[in-house]
A = this chain, B = another copy of it.
Amino acid sequence: MTVTIKDVAREAGVATSTVSRTLKDSPLISENTKVKVRQAMQKLGYTPNFAAQNLANKSTQTIGVILPVGTMGNPAQNPLFLEMIQEIGVVCNEQKYMISLATGKTMAELKDSVRLMHQRKLVDGFILLYSEAKDPIRKFLHDEKIPYALLGKPDVYENETIYIDNDNRLSGKSAADCLIQHGHQRIGYVGLTPSQVVDKERYKGYSDALRDANLTVHPELYFETPTDFMAFLEFLEETQPTGLVVGDDRLALRVLQYLQLDKYKVPDDISLISFNNSVFATLSHPFLTTIDIHVQELARQAAALLIRQLNEPSALLPKMIVPHEVIERETVMRVREE
């Protein structure tokens, strides 16, 4: 049978409460008896029962990690999420927290999963791995006053949520600036999906940079539907861009392909800079020049800040900005004289 606190108490010749206190290293217990108790624990191979602690404590020492639904920009295929999870895992391991996962094929399913986890008191708080405009999950978390940390930029409740993000606007600017510094003048912006706040911000940054340099700001293009692709081709013809800022590495790989199929050479004809510095960036030839957003740091902070919040509920809700970094590889080159 499983060894309980009672067994330890008997073995050590003390009361269960003494064992319990020893467990938390309470100053009320003398060093001598602590030693005695710990020896008993050792000997019997005792480990506290999680459920019992939870029940008595009304806390769970576990955080729920919410993955985006399968349809949203193919997250299942976005390696960033796994990196985030791994990193959250590291922090949780250190702090003896557990990770519970909320997933779903649809928003409804995901929300059910989240609600269930909360109602049944399985988690103390959540980490939302994505930020999406008008997200029903966030609304739910907010309305129920459930502690959570958001990875990305909130569209609402900005002052009432813990979030960890890059300065997306600034990184958009950095990307465009990189092209400008290489002599580019006709620069376009290709985004992932209009619903991601990230994209909007980066586009603003792109606009800032071009405006500062007195260059023409073009409307953003998306790659969601085949129609978008048509628009892209039109854009290429009409404005003859020499540089493109692309929403993320994976999209950049697709763009790269489209360009090559269309007889454009990268970077000779068109330079490309994208975001994330994910696996994809060093997969194709040429390697992508890209902006590293430091996902691991983002995730680590999210976990750390959420856990801090859980331990001191009265603390103010922090926001944190993780710096980005331009990684120059092979897809950006100095524009040829015309």
By a beta-carbon cutoff of 8 Å, the part of chain A in contact with chain B is 2, 47-52, 54-55, 60, 62, 65, 67, 70, 74-79, 81-83, 85-86, 89-90, 93, 96, 98-105, 109, 112-113, 116-117, 119-122, 250, 253-254, 257, 260-261, 278-280, 283-285
Contacts and interface: CB of A to CB of B under 8 A. Distances in A.
B100 A86 contact: no
A255 to B, nearest CB: 11
Contacts of A120: 47-50
Given A93-B113, A261-B285, A55 B49 contact: yes
Most B-side CB within 10 Å, residue of A51, A62, A65, A250: A51
Contact of A77 (B55, B82, B112): B82
Contacts of A100: 62, 98-101
11 contacts: A50-B51, A51-B121, A67-B86, A70-B86, A77-B79, A79-B82, A82-B82, A90-B105, A99-B101, A250-B283, A261-B285
Nearest to A69: B86
Contacts of A50: 51, 120-122
B76 A90 contact: no
Contacts of A79: 76-79, 82
Contacts of A47: 116, 119-120
Contacts of A77: 79, 82-83, 278-279
A10 B47 CA distance: 37
A70 B101 CA distance: 19
B55 A52 contact: yes
B103 A122 contact: no
Given A2-B121, A99-B101, A101-B101, 8 more contacts: A50-B121, A52-B55, A62-B100, A67-B89, A76-B79, A89-B102, A89-B104, A100-B100
A49 B121 contact: yes
A191 to B, nearest CB: 19
Contacts of A70: 86
A96 B49 CA distance: 22
Contacts of A85: 67, 101, 103
Given A283-B280, A284-B253, A103 B81 contact: no
B65 A101 contact: yes
Contact of A86 (B2, B103, B283): B103
A54 to B, nearest CB: 4
Contacts of A260: 285
A75 B82 contact: yes
A285 B259 CA distance: 11
Contact of A283 (B83, B96, B261, B284): B284
- Which of A47, A96, A104, A285 has the most CB atoms of chain B within a 10 A radius of its CB? A285
Nearest to A260: B285
A2 B109 CA distance: 24
A80 to B, nearest CB: 9
B93 A112 contact: yes
A145 to B, nearest CB: 14
Contacts of A82: 67, 75-79, 81-82
5 nearest interchain CB pairs? Answer: A89-B103, A51-B54, A47-B119, A50-B120, A77-B279
